Chains A and B, each alone.
Chain A
């Protein structure tokens, strides 16, 4: 029910006898520095789909899966967070060390290691090899991005390197799936305990960064390693995209373009989808006998879910954009441009990546705060992350905007009032985050000076395959949510909207339990311009933000005054402009998400923070919605 993708599976004990190997080899660990293509390889080897993006620090937990991709279902592969060193300064590095030393509860100690390094930066990446070799486990060194090394005129002698390292070495390209045969071969040799014919080597005794570094440089020097030329494209693009004037303009243009496309392209698509779904529902209803069963299926199950389903095209468009930005490497540049703002509110630049991912969903964002070493800054980031406009707010935003905001165009039709309104909603969410951070910084959280250190990856073309997978995963997640949480809650809303039963007849909506409940809370919500139906919608959406659209779809579908209208028309029938804007403003600030509350509780080990967060955000939401409604009704 949470809105983040987690495909981590529990590690099962494999049966003692396994074909093609001795019973000893069971667990393989995948180790490597950040952003070296580790998760891409993990996905290849297991056939699973972990999130992959072109910036460091995407994997913060360890994940595991059976090595189905190479036909070794008997082996479990553990994907570890990217680490530069086994010396632990942050939580993600600590996780990696605990797993490798067998200290992580519930995870068996790995029997061998796949060490993956980005061969285009071998001098630096090889520094990790010395501490990993000294764990004493059979290790295969995978030199990833071999295709890029060649394309950019770099050179390496893998055999020579293997002799220097005392461990087998293979050149691979995880993205293109090349050279991966070396992995099953190595695993077979490791399980049979075959001698690799390589002599053990002298490792730096004092494993300080400096000694690892000079060791790495000596090794690569003796193996005719040639650093590839810097990608000219990346430099040229950066001189444009980080330009003093053009850089920020491009940044803004990207953001505006995203919203504009979500409306100009997304709205017709979702309208079309709405028509199809409504017709399909009506046709299916005719096939059923005209009794309570038909009413229940149509009003109780179909109406609510279909009103949420129509937003699928817009959600997918949003994730297509996020995917392109992430995979291309532009996000790191955006972090660089935004650092000035982050600093002015006392936040570490490292908080930028988690906050950015909160635009998709706050749950993985809150988990990603583990890369922030400083506890106070981490808590501050957790507190402000849910103010970032997550994709679960998109349905109610687009519904209200399409129903109430006229489609005015400026600048020859390029820029629309609807997209601007949407931008404004994202803007006030960001502003709330900013002010909250500022407040925390000047009172509870004293500023600390964790430095901003950001590696800028090379630009890459996003692949259709990777984008396709993202959309598929997101679409699936959305449909699952619609079929479970949203269906469940809206069905309950319907049940209470027809109860109590009098003389074998459902009650009228106005006499139902839900109407009584709604009217009981109406006095509190009147000043915001909300009627009791919106109130019920707000209550039901504490579970998840999208639920409000389902609840409204259900309630307006049951109401005889509006059941023949579409949801947009029904809302216009019932709400004034002030109330409508107040509603989206409420959603911009309110903590209507059980999954987020649960993950905050899990990450902080107490209910204190989530309770505080819920109370704070609801108060802000109420006051802001009240202001919005009062201002609009009195001024317009």
Chain B
């Protein structure tokens, strides 16, 4: 099972949040939007310029810049991994 940065996951794939390596106030805010270890996340789409990207987490959609998503690590679900392979 590979763990990779959320910013590296492909649009259309899905995974489960493993860990978040961001300063307290940022990870705290993200936690309240649902970014907590164990929550499943789906990479929905990217903004027209490619960055930020839109993630579906816990029933809502959240836009994050890649510079932030780079510090969130996810384990891709098996189906997504097969697709990637």
Chain A interface (Cβ < 8 Å from any Cβ of B): 33, 84-85, 87, 89, 120-121, 123-124, 127, 209-210, 213, 227-228, 230, 234-235, 238-239, 242-245, 247-248, 332, 335-337, 339-340, 343, 349, 373, 449, 451-456
User: Given known contacts A85-B28, A124-B34, A210-B36, is B65 in contact with A339 (CB within 8 Å)?
Assistant: yes
Instruction: Kindly list chain B residues whose C-beta atoms are within 8 Å of the C-beta of A209.
Output: 28, 31-32, 36
CB distance from A374 to the nearest CB of B (A): 10
| Interface flags, B20-39, vs A, CB<8A=1, else 0 | 00100110111111101100
Instruction: Kindly list chain A residues whose C-beta atoms are within 8 Å of the C-beta of B28.
Output: 85, 87, 89, 209
On whether the beta carbons of B48 and A451 are closer than 8 Å, the reply is no
Complex CA gap A239/B47 in Å reads: 10
On whether the beta carbons of A336 and B32 are closer than 8 Å, the reply is no
On whether the beta carbons of B63 and A337 are closer than 8 Å, the reply is no
B52: nearest chain-A partner, CB-CB: A339
Q: How many residues of chain B get a CB closer than 8 Å to chain A's CBs? A: 31
Most B CB atoms within 10 A — which of A123, A213, A238, A332? A213
CB distance from A175 to the nearest CB of B (A): 19
User: Given known contacts A84-B29, A339-B47, A451-B26, is B62 in contact with A456 (CB within 8 Å)?
Assistant: yes
B68: nearest chain-A partner, CB-CB: A451
User: Given known contacts A242-B45, A337-B47, is B32 in contact with A84 (CB within 8 Å)?
Assistant: yes
On whether the beta carbons of A456 and B54 are closer than 8 Å, the reply is yes
Complex CA gap A340/B52 in Å reads: 8
CB distance from B26 to the nearest CB of A (A): 5
User: Given known contacts A123-B58, A209-B36, is B47 in contact with A453 (CB within 8 Å)?
Assistant: no
Residues 51 to 65 of chain B near chain A (Cβ within 8 Å): 51-52, 54, 56, 58-65
Could you say which of B29, B51, B61, B68 contacts A456, with CB atoms under 8 Å apart?
Answer: B61
On whether the beta carbons of A124 and B63 are closer than 8 Å, the reply is no
Could you say which of B31, B48, B62 contacts A454, with CB atoms under 8 Å apart?
Answer: B62
Instruction: Kindly list chain A residues whose C-beta atoms are within 8 Å of the C-beta of B64.
Output: 451-454
Instruction: Kindly list chain B residues whose C-beta atoms are within 8 Å of the C-beta of A449.
Output: 67
Q: Is B1 an interface residue (CB 8 A)?
A: no
Complex CA gap A449/B44 in Å reads: 24
A210: nearest chain-B partner, CB-CB: B36
Instruction: Kindly list chain A residues whose C-beta atoms are within 8 Å of the C-beta of B44.
Output: 235, 238
Complex CA gap A538/B36 in Å reads: 56
- Would you list the 7 A-B pairs with minimal beta carbon distance, nearest first? A209-B31, A84-B32, A340-B49, A454-B63, A456-B61, A451-B68, A247-B48
